[in-house]
Amino acid sequence: MNSTKAPLSTRTVTVLFLLLLGFTFMYKETPAQAKTVKAANTKPTQTAVEVPEIAYTVSMSKPATHLLEVEMRLNWKQMPDQAELKMPVWTPGSYLVREYARHVQDFSAKDATGKALGWRKINKNTWQVDSKGAGEIVAVYRVYSNELTVRTNELNDEHAFWNNGALLMFPKGQLKVASTVKVIPANGWKVATGLPKVAGQENTFRAENFDVLYDTPFEVSNFTEITFNVQGKPHRYVITGEGNYDLKALARDTTKIVEECYKMFGELPYDDYTFIVNLRGGGGLEHLNSTALQWQRFGFKPAARYKGFLGLVAHEYFHAFNVKRIRPDALGPFDYENENYTKLLWVAEGGTEYYSNLLLRRAGLISDKEFLNQKAGAFTDLASRPGRFETSLEEASMDAWIKYYRQDENSVNNQISYYDKGEIVNMMLDLSIRTASNGAKSLDDVMRHLYNEFYKRGRNYTPEDFQKVSETMAGKSLDEFFSKYVRGESEIDYDGILAGVGLSVSSSQAGKNRAYIGADTAEENGRLTVRSVPAGTPAYDQGINTGDQIVAVDGYRATTQFLQTYLNEKKPGEAVRLTVFRFDKLREMNFTLGGNMRAEFSISPVSSPTETQKTLYRAYLNSDL
């Protein structure tokens, strides 16, 4: 129905205009008032009434069953008729879809009165609950937890360790909502996590949103702990399991690592930090104000093994800056139901691995020679991978979701690691910047710029951003460097780049005159089996297959020890008769031995370093050539 209003008279319009004009001159808005008015006249995207309240309770009444018990209470005045509860499919920092929903069992839902609500599973990781107008849903389920890695969950009679992303569901579309987690420990165990405690509530913690919740693991056990302060902020180790570690030494040496990061960035961007250590397995996973680490219980002695652990600590701790705050384009806010692709894992992980060793050197925990020997070993390992000619660092980063965590027998031939080659290329980039700027700038300046201009401004960086910032610090174009070593598969000019700081790189083929088959073998239960066959080796060229069981050489039973001894008496070019089982069928082949052409790299000072080279080396590794 249409309606027509009578027009205002000219006099009436004039009077109204004058009144409005006078009011405008009488009212002068202050900045504070402007802010208040803007807020008052801006319709909020989500009012307090619309925000759901989410509270989890995690129990472990029967540790021997390996079942963590979860109660999720979703209180929401704007509850949809059908609420969808979702389980993440992956954990940030570990780039593989792991389908955590496969461990969920015994799901049920009810309202606040205890009345059962209907539900159904509508896809692999979504449970749809009929709320029927209820203001609260109480979902209960159990999660089988019997896999101790830094990205999964484990419950047994020793402890409970879990990642919230592998345990706790989230309501569809509500990742920005806060939640609480209450833990009911078994056996009087203590609870450790990086989440802040809720005042007045025992073993209850709060996360401001799901990115924080899913970023913070829990350890529940009779752990051993030590607290130490760095720059006025508390840090602590919590360690589960017996081992030959020294708590005081760990606190002392970790303090040195943290101090070096403080010197680099000028601040510690958290209120407290927790190192969770389980003395089984190996590896680490980074978080905003904590890290989960695994190490062998007697892996802290001798000194070389202890330094290995400190390297792991330095790597995961440096992630508090690089990745958790200096974030590549796609890594946060996260999509927990799909892959999050980026070309920058070579910076996120490879750069962090580079700094892990550099931090140890700066902290005085390793010598400059130890640092350089480790890098020479990395050069050697990369040279032994034919895949370096097949995959670039950017491609390896993008393909992490389908390749890195799914290594097979041909991976050596078609892949490189964005960790390993990434570490090397970050070193080469650092030295290139130092040389080009005559020591005025380094990769440190690149990281600081990203921290201040991207993280602090709420921005993620792109591959183009990283190259541009690197070029700014170098004072010149680095397009050739990035084209060859980041986007391409060129061999790295080690000697040319390291010469800038007075170092020389040499390589030798110590095994080229020794007889060599070329297959990577493993002996188990008396069977010598081929695990992989690198391209370019005699085994690859003459048709040895992965999975072949080498039974005999020239009629003699084949073992690892026999093969080494027997081949020592042979020379490249000689022929032997191999007897192998392939698909359970016995066959023989004439095989021509070759030489091991693997290059072994070493790094040493140039013969007559210039004063500039000496200065740059001293600034780089705090030592003299």
Provide the CATH number for the domain around residue 363.
Answer: 1.10.390.10
600 falls within a domain: no
Please write the tens of the pLDDT for every residue from 411-430. Answer: 999 999 999 999 999 999 99
Q: What angle do CA 156, 161, 163 make, to 5 degrees?
A: 140
CATH code at position 154: 2.60.40.3650
Whole-number pLDDT of residue 622 = 96
For residue 403, is pLDDT > 50?
Answer: yes
> What's the pLDDT tens digit per position in 247-256?
999 999 999 9
Same domain as 32, residue 139: no
Position 512 confidence tier, pLDDT thresholds 50, 70, 90: confident
Does one domain contain both 80 and 204? yes
Q: How far is CA 435 from the centre of its chain?
A: 30
DSSP string across 54-93: EEEEEE-S-GGGTEEEEEEEEE-TT--SEEEEE--S-BTT
* 214 shares its domain with 312: no
Give the pLDDT score at 139: 98
Same domain, 300 and 444: no
Q: What share of the chain is helix, strand, coil (3-state, %, to 5)?
A: 35, 25, 40
Q: Are residues 34 and 59 in the same domain?
A: no
In total, how many domains does the chain have?
Answer: 5
At 310, list the tokens.
């400190």
Q: What confidence tier does 28 reach under pLDDT thresholds 50, 70, 90?
A: very low
The reported pLDDT for the residue numbered 133 is: 76
Whole-angstrom CA distances from 365 to 231, 295, 502 are 20, 19, 23
Same domain, 63 and 120: yes
Tens digit of each residue's pLDDT (9 = 90 or more) over 127-186: 999 998 788 999 999 999 999 999 999 999 999 999 999 999 999 999 999 999 999 999
> pLDDT at residue 8 above 60?
no
Residues 259 and 363 in one domain: no
* First-to-final CA distance of the chain: 91
Residue 149 is part of which domain span? 53-221
Q: pLDDT tens for residues 468-508?
A: 999 999 999 999 999 999 999 999 999 999 999 999 999 99
Residue 485 in domain: yes
| Residues 99 and 32 both lie in one domain | no
pTM here is: 0.89
Asked whether residue 478 is domain-assigned, the answer is yes
One domain, residues 127 and 161: yes
